[in-house]
């Protein structure tokens, strides 16, 4: 139930994530179905800090609800995870 | 169209980050031969037939980053660190830009028509009737094409009620506007440099990432390490390529090791002004046509393949040319680096004494990542000088014409000649033919803006964001919208 608490989707737009694929993730909202879109808060961030200590292998990073970190994020993978998490929420 | 979601691009960028980081740290000698192994460890699935092939391909890609092509390989066993040592000593940038890595080239089958299993071996069989060469016969299950008879006319594809016949292209050959990339007997692709215009379309088109460009990044880092004043001349298309403002880019570039940022749009102002003047003079003297000259792939195309057009190409230097001049006038000792989305600029720079090196946006992005510079968090530096908004529009299609029109309307007192401008974009085979006709005076229009890449420079092979988004950002800054 989309009551009040929306799923927080933080997309890293730090330079490293950006050049390794986040430039496409910027448009995530365009690809989400309207029902999903209503239930998420998409926020662009400048560097979530995961690329520190030269660990860029996982970039681009997306963080869901402050807890789940998606590595090598793509629109498809993020959408899938969002769906799964919303389902879990609904079940609660 | 999301192009970033593409394994080939990612690998290219990851390799760049690793090389740049190693070279900045001074540890690249020890690391470089290990990079293919680190990136393709034996406990992970291969993306080609096996990890050994993956690694071999990575080695060629690394050679490209060091500035070497397949053509420079004399001994397959030569380690990358030896190439690196040579690259560090190199004083002249490589003459040719593109190369095809043999192991990576999949050897796509000759472009051809294929009858897919959607064929029902129907009763009407329009394909057999439409074929002018009787190359199609229908078997019990489906139709078949006799390739020794097929002339690739494609008539069968249009008449099949099931749309069962498709054409399978060779992506690089399809993308090449001049037919410079071709197979040898063994099936692998080679570039014929007599007709190659370095546009880089094959680089973008190859799904096996087999085409590589010779980079100059080692030389740029060397200049920085030697403590030289290295000026970053950024193409107008840069806006929108990074999540940052021009001011933030200026600061980021400073942090990345450049001494200053010079907007190539400043050079574009001079190009627009002088090209407008030149147009006026040419029309006065009775020419029927003038074309822009800022796209180096187009200029190469004319030089090599459209001799009829030579006398109509504007002689005004390109924005990069003027920018190089401006930088060297200010400080003859400085090292100038053009940074853009373009492969062909490398070629133009070879014959311009004022432009020392060329980098791509992709390489710049990798440099930022290697130095862990986060543009979005920077305050930004105040620009020394704001370039003219019209000149900033050069990076997107019609930008050149708009700037010239602006210049002409600002002209002192004279009545400017009527300009009938046409945009020729992108440079493909059809447009190559059109250009010929324009040169012969068979088509209307007296000013042609020719841009090899779709949507203008923003659609260049080494851009970071797609052409539409990049173009919108450029136009916004140019206040065209
Ligand atoms: S740039 Fe994305 S985590 Fe740092």
In a domain, B175, yes or no: no
Picking from B242, B362, B465, the nearest residue to A15 by CB comes out as B242
Which of A34-38, B86-90, B126-130, B404-408 is predicted least confidently?
A: B404-408
CA distance B346 to B340: 10
Q: How confident is the model at residue A2 (pLDDT cuts 50, 70, 90)?
A: very low
Secondary structure letter of residue B383 according to DSSP: P
- Find how far residue A20's CA is from the centre of its chain: 15
Mean pLDDT of B338-351: 95
In a domain, B414, yes or no: yes
CA distance B255 to B267: 24
Tokens of B422: 């046409």
> Domain holding B136: CATH number?
3.30.70.20
pLDDT at B1: 34
Residues B203 and B159 in one domain: no
Q: Tell me if B464 sits within 8 A of B241, measured CB to CB.
A: yes
pLDDT at B320: 97
Picking from A27, A47, A56, the nearest residue to B377 by CB comes out as A47
The answer to whether residue B2 scores a pLDDT higher than 50 is no
pLDDT digits (tens, 9 = 90+) for A3-51: 458 899 999 999 999 989 888 888 888 888 888 899 999 999 988 988 8
User: What distance in angstroms lies between residue A8's CA and the mean position of ligand 1's atoms?
Assistant: 17
Picking from B3, B369, B465, the nearest residue to A16 by CB comes out as B369
In a domain, B197, yes or no: yes
Q: Measure A6 CA to nearest chain B CA, in Å.
A: 26
Q: Measure B34 CA to nearest chain A CA, in Å.
A: 16
Class of domain A3-91: alpha beta
CA distance B336 to B323: 9
Mutation target for A interface from B2, B3, B20, B360: give the one with most A CBs within 10 A.
B2
User: What distance in angstroms lies between residue B231's CA and the mean position of ligand 1's atoms?
Assistant: 27
Secondary structure letter of residue B415 according to DSSP: P
Residues B275 and B330 in one domain: yes
CA distance B40 to B47: 9
pLDDT digits (tens, 9 = 90+) for B37-48: 998 887 777 777
Residues B433 and B347 in one domain: yes
Q: Which of B281, B293, B298, B310 is nearest to B408 (CA)?
A: B281
pLDDT at B338: 98
- In this structure, the residue with its CA closest to atom 4 of ligand 1 is A47
Residues B347 and B205 in one domain: no
Strands (E), B117-239: 136-138, 143-145, 165-168, 181-183, 189-191, 211-213, 230-234
Q: Inter-axis angle of helices B264-284 and B319-330, to 10 degrees?
A: 120
User: What distance in angstroms lies between residue B367's CA and the mean position of ligand 1's atoms?
Assistant: 15
> Domain holding B327: CATH number?
3.40.950.10
Q: Tell me if B113 sits within 8 A of B166, measured CB to CB.
A: yes
In a domain, B85, yes or no: yes
Mean pLDDT of B398-412: 76
Mean pLDDT of A69-81: 92
Strands (E), B93-205: 98-100, 112-115, 136-138, 143-145, 165-168, 181-183, 189-191
pLDDT digits (tens, 9 = 90+) for B12-61: 999 999 999 999 999 999 999 999 999 888 777 777 778 888 899 999 99
Q: Find out whether the beta carbon of A73 lies less than 6 Å from any atom of ligand 1.
A: no
The answer to whether residue B5 scores a pLDDT higher than 70 is no
Tell me which of B99, B134, B168 is where a domain ends: B168
Q: How confident is the model at residue B412 (pLDDT cuts 50, 70, 90)?
A: low
In a domain, B1, yes or no: no
Element (H, E) at B204: helix B201-205
Scan for tokens 């994530």, then name that residue.
A17
Residues B291 and B384 in one domain: yes
Structural domains in chain B (count): 3
pLDDT at B481: 43
Alpha-carbon dihedral sign for residues B84, B260, B386, B419: negative
pLDDT at B42: 79
Residues B207 and B327 in one domain: no
Mean pLDDT of B345-365: 95
pLDDT at A78: 93
Question: Measured between alpha carbons, how far apart are the two ends of chain B, in Å?
Answer: 22
Residue B153: CA count within 13 A, CB half-sphere: 14
Read off the pTM.
0.90
Q: How confident is the model at residue B413 (pLDDT cuts 50, 70, 90)?
A: low
Interface contact B473, partner A, CB < 8 A: no
Scan for tokens 């699935």, then name that residue.
B45
- Chain A CB contacts of B376 under 8 Å are 13-15, 46-47
Residue B413: CA count within 13 A, CB half-sphere: 0
Higher pLDDT, B390 or B3: B390
Residues B144 and B96 in one domain: no
Q: Find out whether the beta carbon of A22 lies less than 6 Å from any atom of ligand 1.
A: no
Element (H, E) at B370: helix B361-370
Residues B286 and B190 in one domain: no
Range of the domain at B95: 7-107+182-214
Pseudo-torsion of CA B447, B453, B458, B462, nearest 10°? -150
In a domain, B177, yes or no: no
CA distance B65 to B356: 17
User: What distance in angstroms lies between residue B369's CA and the mean position of ligand 1's atoms?
Assistant: 9
Interface contact B159, partner A, CB < 8 A: no
Nearest CA in chain A to B10: A20
- Chain B CB contacts of A47 under 8 Å are 374, 376-377
Quote the percentage of chain B above a pLDDT of 90: 69
Tokens of B207: 């799904």
The mean pLDDT of chain B is 91
In a domain, B163, yes or no: yes
In a domain, B221, yes or no: no
pLDDT digits (tens, 9 = 90+) for B431-451: 999 999 999 999 999 999 999
- Chain A CB contacts of B4 under 8 Å are 21, 23-24
The ranges assigned to domains in chain A are 3-91
- Chain A CB contacts of B362 under 8 Å are 19
pLDDT digits (tens, 9 = 90+) for B201-230: 999 898 888 899 999 999 999 999 999 999
Q: Find out whether the beta carbon of A49 lies less than 6 Å from any atom of ligand 1.
A: yes
Q: Are strands B447-450 and B421-424 parallel, antiparallel or unpaired?
A: parallel
CA distance B15 to B65: 8
The answer to whether residue B479 scores a pLDDT higher than 90 is no
């Amino acid at each position: 139930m989309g009551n009040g608490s929306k799923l927080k989707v933080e997309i890293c737009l730090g330079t490293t994530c950006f050049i390794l694929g986040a430039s496409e993730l910027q448009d995530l909202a365009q690809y989400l179905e309207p029902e999903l879109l209503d239930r998420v808060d998409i926020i662009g961030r400048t560097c979530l800090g995961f690329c520190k200590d030269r660990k860029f292998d996982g970039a681009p990073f997306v963080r869901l609800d402050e807890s789940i970190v998606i590595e090598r994020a793509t629109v498809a993978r993020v959408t899938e995870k969002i769906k799964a998490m919303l389902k879990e929420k609904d079940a609660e | 169209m999301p192009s970033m979601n593409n394994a080939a691009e990612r690998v290219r960028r990851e390799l760049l980050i690793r090389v740049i980081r190693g070279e900045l740290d001074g540890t690249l000698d020890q690391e470089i031969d290990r990079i293919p192994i680190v990136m393709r460890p034996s406990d992970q699935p291969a993306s080609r037939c096996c990890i050994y092939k993956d690694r071999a391909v990575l080695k060629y890609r690394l050679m490209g980053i060091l500035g070497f092509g397949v053509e420079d390989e004399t001994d397959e066993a030569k380690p990358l660190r030896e190439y690196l040592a040579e690259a560090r000593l190199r004083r002249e940038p490589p003459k040719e830009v593109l190369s095809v890595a043999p192991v990576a080239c999949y050897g796509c089958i000759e472009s051809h028509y294929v009858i897919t299993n959607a064929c029902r071996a129907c009763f009407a069989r329009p394909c057999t009737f439409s074929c002018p060469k009787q190359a199609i016969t229908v078997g019990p299950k489906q139709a078949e094409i006799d390739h020794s008879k097929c002339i690739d006319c494609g008539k069968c594809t249009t008449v099949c009620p099931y749309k069962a016949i498709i054409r399978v292209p060779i992506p690089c050959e399809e993308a090449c506007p001049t037919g410079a990339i071709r197979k040898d007997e063994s099936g692998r692709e080679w570039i014929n440099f007599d007709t190659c215009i370095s546009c880089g379309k094959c680089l973008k088109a190859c799904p096996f990432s087999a085409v590589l460009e010779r980079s100059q990044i080692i030389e740029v880092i060397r200049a920085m390490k030697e403590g030289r004043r290295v000026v970053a001349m950024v193409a107008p298309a840069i806006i929108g390529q990074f999540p940052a403002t021009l001011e933030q880019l200026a600061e980021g570039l400073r942090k990345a090791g450049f001494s200053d940022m010079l907007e190539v749009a400043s050079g574009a102002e001079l190009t627009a002004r002088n090209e407008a003047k030149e147009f006026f003079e040419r029309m006065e003297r009775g020419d029927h046509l003038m074309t822009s000259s800022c796209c180096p792939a187009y200029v190469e195309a004319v030089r090599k393949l459209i001799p009829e057009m030579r006398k109509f190409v504007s002689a005004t230097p390109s924005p990069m040319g003027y920018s190089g001049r401006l930088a060297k006038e200010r400080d003859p000792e400085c090292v100038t680096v053009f940074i853009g989305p373009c492969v062909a600029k490398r070629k133009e720079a070879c014959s311009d004494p004022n432009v020392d090196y060329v980098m791509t946006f992709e390489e710049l992005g990798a440099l930022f990542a290697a130095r862990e510079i986060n543009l979005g968090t920077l305050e930004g530096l105040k620009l020394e000088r704001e370039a003219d908004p019209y000149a900033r529009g050069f990076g997107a299609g019609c930008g050149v014409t708009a700037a010239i029109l602006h210049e002409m309307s600002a002209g002192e007192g004279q009545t400017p000649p009527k300009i009938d401008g046409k945009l020729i974009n992108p440079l493909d085979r059809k447009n190559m033919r059109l250009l010929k006709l324009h040169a012969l005076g068979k088509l209307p229009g007296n000013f042609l803006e020719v841009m090899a890449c779709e949507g203008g420079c923003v659609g260049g092979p080494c851009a970071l964001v797609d052409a539409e988004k990049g173009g919108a950002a450029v136009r916004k800054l140019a206040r065209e919208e």
